Structure 1
Amino acid sequence: MVAGLDPATATTAEFLGACYDAGLAWVHFPVGFGGLGLPAGLQAVADAILAAGGRPDPFLNNPIGVGMAGPTLHGHADSELRARLLRPLYTGEQMWAQLFSEPGAGSDLAGLSTRAVRDGDDWVVDGQKVWTSLAHLASWALLLARTDPDLPKHRGLTYFIVDMHAPGVEVRPLRQATGQAEFNEVYLTGVRVPDAHRLGDVGQGWNVAMTTLMNERSAIGDSALGRGSGTIADALDLWRDRPDLHSPALRLRLADLWTQAEAYRLTGERARVARTAGPPGPEASIGKLVGAELNQKIYDFCMEMLGPEGTLYDSYDDPSDSLQRRFLRARANTIEGGTSQILRNVLGERVLRLPGDVRVDTGKPWRDVPRG
C-alpha cells in the first residue's frame, strides 16, 4: 500500500493516508484507526523506516492534531468519532487547534471561565480563549470549558471537540515579535456543540485534559533527531560559514552548547524507550523544559556571534526564516506548551515528590474563588 507510492510525486495527504490505512500512523492504536495494535515502542522503528523513504513529517504537517488531538481521541472518544476524525487529522486535511488558555487562566488552566451550558442534546458555549496556535487554519479544536461553577475548579470542567467553522466562533490573529501571526484570540458566542462531541464524562474534563497536556509536552520535547541536527545545527552552520567571526571564547561556548544538545538528544532517546511501557507521564515535562531553554541559549549564541549583524532584521512581511527571526520566535518556547515555571512545579511535585505550593483555593467552589 505505502510501497506503491512515490513520496516525490504523491501529495502529502495521499502518502500519509496510505500510512494511516496501513496502520503505521500510531502502531499502538487499534486496527482500522491508524494502528496495528502493537506495542508503542515499535512506532520509532516504523517512523525511521518511513522517514528514510521520504515520508512527510505528520507532526510538522498538523502539530496539534497529531501530537495532542490524536492521542486524546484514542484515549477518550468513541469509535464513531475516532473513525470520522483520525484519518483526516493524520493526513493534515483537517487542521486542529487547542482551546485551553484564557486571558485570566494561562498557567492556572483549571481556573478558566469559558462556560458550557447543557441545552437538550447540545451544549451552548460562551467565552474567550487566547494564544491559540493555528486557530485561523483549524477545522476542529479541543475545548476545555466550565460546566459547573459550584464545584472546585478542577472538578467542574468538561472536555469537548468544537467545529471551528460553527456559528459564533470568531478568530482574531495576534501579531508576534517576528511579525507573523500563528497565535490567535478565539471568541465563542453561543456556539452549539453536540453532546456527542464530548470526551469523557461531564465534570471529568481535567482528567481528559491531562492526556492532552502530557502528550503536548512529550511532542514538543521529543527529540528524534540525529547527532548535530535540530537547532544546534543552526549554530554549527553559522560557525562553518563565518570563520571571520570566530574567537576562542565563542568556540568554547559552541562546544558547551553541542554537549548540551547531545545530552538532550540522548535523554529523549531514553524517554522514548521508557514510554513503551505506557502513556507519557509528568517526566515528559523534562524534555520540553530543557529543549525550550536550550533553543534560547543556542540562538542567543548565534546573535552574539553575529554581533551588530544580529540587529539586521528582514521586513515583517518577509517569510524567510532567518536566524534573527528564529531568535525572536524562540522567546515563546518557554511559554508555549506550559511555562518553564509550571513545568518545574510539575517535576518537583510529581517526579521528585517535593511539597507542593500553597493553594488557597483548594476545595472551594470555583465561583467563590477571587479572580483578577
Structure 2
Amino acid sequence: MKFFSKESYGLPVLLAISLHLLLIVVSLVAVDFKEEQDLRVNDRPVVQAKVVDISQTIIGKRIEEDKAKAKAQALAAKKKAQQEKKRKAAEQALKERKKQLAQQKKQKQAQEEKARAAAEAAQKAEADKLQKRQVAEAEQKKKAAQKAQKAKDDAKKRLAQETKKAEAAKKLAESKRREQERINKEKAEVERKRLEVIRIAEEQKKRQEEAQLALAQEKARQEALAIELALQEEAEKQQEIAEASARQSMSALIDQRIRSRWIMPPNATNGMKTQLRIFFLPTGEVDLVNVTESSGDALFDQRTVDAVYKMGRIEELAELDPFVFERNFRTVDLIFNPQDLRR
C-alpha cells in the first residue's frame, strides 16, 4: 500500500482553499449588487442581512473533504512510520537474541567438552581397576577349575564303573521285558482275531437283516406308488371327463347366448361361419374378442362380434374352479355357424 506525505498535498490544498474563498466572495458581491438594483427599482429602503455557513455549501463540503483526506493520509503516513520503527526494533531485538543464544551455545559446548574429558579420565581409571580385578579373578578361577577337573575325573571313573554294572543289569531286565511283551502280544493277537471273527459275523448278520428290511420297504413303497399312480390317473381321467363335459356344455351355452343376441345381416346365407377367439375374465365377463377366421363378409363378422359383447356376464364361468377356468375358459375358440339362413 502506497502512502503520501503531508507536504505533497500542502500546495494543492492551499490552492483549493484559495479558489473556494474567491468564489464565495464573488458570489456575495453579486448578491449585494443585485439587491442594490432591486432597491433602486423599487425605490424603497430595504435592509437585508444573511448569514452564510460556508461548511454547508458545496465548496465548503469539498474543502472539508480535502482536509479530512489530507488528515487521513497524514495519519496513515505516521502509522507506517511507527510500524517501520517497530519492525526495526524487533529486528534488532532478534539479532541480540541470536547473539546471546550463540554465546550460550558456545559456553555449553565448552562445559560439555570439559565434562567429557573428566568422564573419559574416570572411565580409564575404572577400566584399569577392572582389568586388575579380572586378572585376579581369572587366576582364582583357573585354580578352582583345576581342582574341579580333578574331582570330575575321579567322579567320572566311579560313574563309569557304576554305569557298566547298571548296563549289565539293564540288559538282563530288558531281555526279560521283551520276552514278556512277546508273550503278551501273542495273547493279544489271538484275542483280537477272535473278536474280529465275532464282529464280522455280527456285521454280516446285520447287513442281511438290513437288506431284507430295505427290500421289504422298497416293495411296499413300489406298491404304494403304483396305487397312488393308479388313483392319480383315475382322478385325471375323471377330471378330463368333467372338464370336457364342462367345455362342451359351456361352449353350447356361449353359442346359444350369442345366437340369442345375434342380428342376422340382410346378405347372410347358409354356409357362412366365423371363427372367434373369446377372452374371458374370472368374473365371467368378456374381456376381448378377435376374429381368427373370417366368414368372407365383414358385416357378418361384425354382427357376430357384437353379439359376443352383448352377452354380458356368464355367471356359470364365475362359479368354476379357478384352475379349471384358467386351463379351459380363459381363452375360448368358437366357430359361429348359424343354420336356417337364406339360400
Higher helix proportion: 2
Structure 2 length as normaliser, TM-score?
0.15
Higher strand proportion: 1
Structure 1 length as normaliser, TM-score?
0.14
Pick the structure with greater CA Rg: 2
